[in-house]
Amino acid sequence: MRPISIKQYIALLAILPVFCAQAETLEEAFEHALNQNHLIKSAKADTEASEQQLYSAQNQRLPSLNIKGGYTQLSETPAAKTEIEGQAAQFPMSQAGSGQAEVIASVPIFTSGRISHGIDAAEAALSATQQNEVATALTIKLQIAEAFLAVLRAQSALQVTESHAETLKANAADVERLHSQGMVSKNDRLAAEVEYANARQLVVQNDNRLDIAKAQYNRLLNRRLDNPVELEERFPSSPDGAPDELSTQALAQRPELNALNSQITALQEQARSIQSGLLPQVAVNGGYQYQENRYMAFEGMWMVNVGMEWKLDGGTHHQSQSLNRQALALQAQRDDMASMIGLEVRRAWLDIQETEKRIEVSQQAIAQADENLRVNRERYRQGLSTQTEVLKAEELRITTHNNFNNARYDAALAKLNLRRALGIL
């Protein structure tokens, strides 16, 4: 077996990172964000809090246990006065100092719907926070998708400007050669050198923009800002259907609308629960009571009773009406949001149509721009064209490549915006 040469070893080292580093897909970025993003963690905590509120509302149906105890010291011994055979007499009824204790269990048996409406309100509130969690995840996903595309867009822009610099470098070399042969003026040589210097400046600027785009992407994923970023250019497909059909689909599944619907239900159920509190409330109470008193035959006794409470509070009615008015306000917000969602769907759908046409046109223009540059450079070498025409042809080539890249990434963003508008990102 022949030993590996130095050149082969260097080549292996060069290609090793390609196999070791795996480009990250958009779906992988989404999955990472769902586990690391702070706003999503906050939304999950809100959902867990609403779950505890629901458990609290449900536990109101269960027996409540109240344990009390204490010790009382009086200044005098309680006594009763009476007359025995015409003589005043008194006898003690209890001790001056005594301890008391009781354990009472209470079970609601009829609350006029107060507890059941409270549970329904808590369930609706939980549903609202769950939908808000989904909406938060969708918003974060779209932000990540925009940052993902910003990195790819910046990479493409850097590649185009590097190509631009290489072309102008070659052009400057051609002009220098022709100038040394006395075929072109010094002005052409200076113009070529200035354009090449400007192109190198664009490379520096676009390289900086790429670093900033990567830092923003890493921030959304809760990573180090200088973490290496390698992305795979793969995106989900665009939903099929006409705008009206897609709008109907969005109204049925957008979590923001579902959250508002649940919040409206929660407020209405809270109002009913408060209103039910004005009706009779019946509960069964039972337990053990102890009163330290050596003058009583039984210091401790078991007890049971059925009690009814009926509050006549005029202010409670206004609390109920206030909640109902809040529900009406949310209903108006919900109707306005439904209209905005329809606009979001139509705008994203139209953007897709526009960008697909832009891709087709700009793709055709690339070959024409490349050929135009080649012809002008050849004509310039033969003295049939000016340096200005060559630079203009290169400017057109760069503009065409940038237009194509922008159209591609605008199309990807439009498709992602449509999926976000439908609530399926």
Rounded distance between C-alpha atoms, residue 178 and residue 386, angstroms: 12
Which pLDDT does position 136 carry in this prediction? Answer: 93
187: CB partners within 8 A, 6+ apart: none
CA dist., res. 139 & res. 390, Å (int): 47
3-class DSSP state for residue 64? strand
Pair 420, 254: CB distance under 8 Å: no
| Sole residue written with tokens 């992988």 | 28
Task: Classify domain 22-66+98-422 at the CATH class level.
Answer: mainly alpha
Backbone angles phi, psi at 291, to 5 degrees: -130, 115
pLDDT for position 3: 43
- Checking if the pLDDT of 237 tops 60, the result is yes
What does the pLDDT read at residue 176?
80
At residue 314, the pLDDT reads 62
Candidates 275, 335, 338, 271; CA nearest to 124 is 271
In this model, does residue 116 exceed pLDDT 60? yes
At 126, the amino acid letter reads L
pLDDT at 419: 94
C-beta separation of 99 from 292 below 8 A: yes
* pTM as predicted: 0.78
pLDDT in the model for residue 247: 94
Average pLDDT over residues 34-45: 88
pLDDT in tens, 306-323: 989 888 776 777 888 899
The CA distances from residue 239 to 189, 236, 249, 257, in Å, are: 54, 9, 11, 20
Whether pLDDT at 387 is above 90: no
What is the pLDDT at residue 403?
Answer: 93
Per-residue pLDDT, averaged over 352-360, amounts to 94
Rounded Cα–Cα distance for residues 252 and 254 (Å): 6
Return the C-alpha torsion angle 390, 392, 394, 396, nearest 10: -150
CA distances (Å), 1 to each of 4, 7, 9, 44, in order? 9, 17, 15, 60
Mean pLDDT of 253-278: 93
- pLDDT tens readout for residues 117-143: 999 999 999 999 999 999 999 999 999
Is the model's pLDDT at 87 over the cut of 50? Answer: yes
- The Cα 189–Cα 117 span in angstroms is 85
**For the segment 188-203, what is each residue's pLDDT rounded down to a tens digit?**
888 888 888 988 999 9
Residue type for 128, please?
A: A
Residues 6+ apart with CB under 8 A from 286: 104, 105, 302, 303, 304, 305
Q: Check whether 14 has a pLDDT greater than 70.
A: no
Beta bridge partners of 301: 289
Q: CA 62, CA 215: separation in Å to the nearest integer?
A: 54
The torsion angle over the Cα atoms of residues 405, 411, 412 and 418, rounded to 10 degrees, is: 160
Cα(172)–Cα(177) distance, integer angstroms: 9
For residue 17, name the pLDDT band (cuts at 50, 70, 90).
very low
